[in-house]
């Protein structure tokens, strides 16, 4: 009778071991599946964010080009205006430039003392 009880216990332990192994394999597979799903979702979100960032970059690039073109046009207009004024009044322009130069020279030389 003791032998039968021992054999039953051994069989129960063996069954329990097999059940634990099976349960561990199933749980491992379930966790692997969840990890694969999480990785797929993360990859999808990453692609969405990348596309959104690319859109923001393209918009900023276009706006930057527009601002640059506008500023370049204004600088060209200012340059043409100044050139016209200097050509209209060369003596007055030279006198003003000389005066500004003298003032800047005095200011800079005054700092050295």
Q: 35-57 pLDDT, tens per residue? A: 999 999 999 999 999 999 999 99
Its pTM stands at 0.49
CA distance 19 to 27: 12
Output the pLDDT for position 22.
92
pLDDT band (50, 70, 90) for residue 10: confident
* 56-111 confidence digits (pLDDT tens): 999 999 999 999 999 999 999 999 998 998 899 999 988 999 999 999 999 988 76
CA distance 14 to 16: 5
3-state secondary structure of 113: coil
CA distance 25 to 21: 6
CA distance 20 to 17: 5
């Amino acid at each position: 009778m003791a032998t039968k009880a021992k054999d039953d216990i051994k069989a129960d332990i063996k069954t329990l071991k097999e059940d634990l192994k099976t349960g561990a394999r199933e749980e491992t597979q379930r966790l692997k599946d969840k990890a694969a799903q999480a990785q797929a979702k993360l990859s999808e979100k990453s692609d969405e964010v990348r596309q959104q960032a690319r859109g923001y970059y393209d918009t900023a690039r276009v706006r930057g080009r527009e601002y640059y073109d506008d500023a370049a046009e204004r600088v060209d207009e200012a340059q043409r205006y100044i050139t016209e004024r200097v050509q209209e009044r060369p003596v007055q322009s030279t006198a003003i430039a000389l005066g500004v130069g003298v003032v800047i020279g005095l200011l800079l030389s005054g700092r050295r003392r």
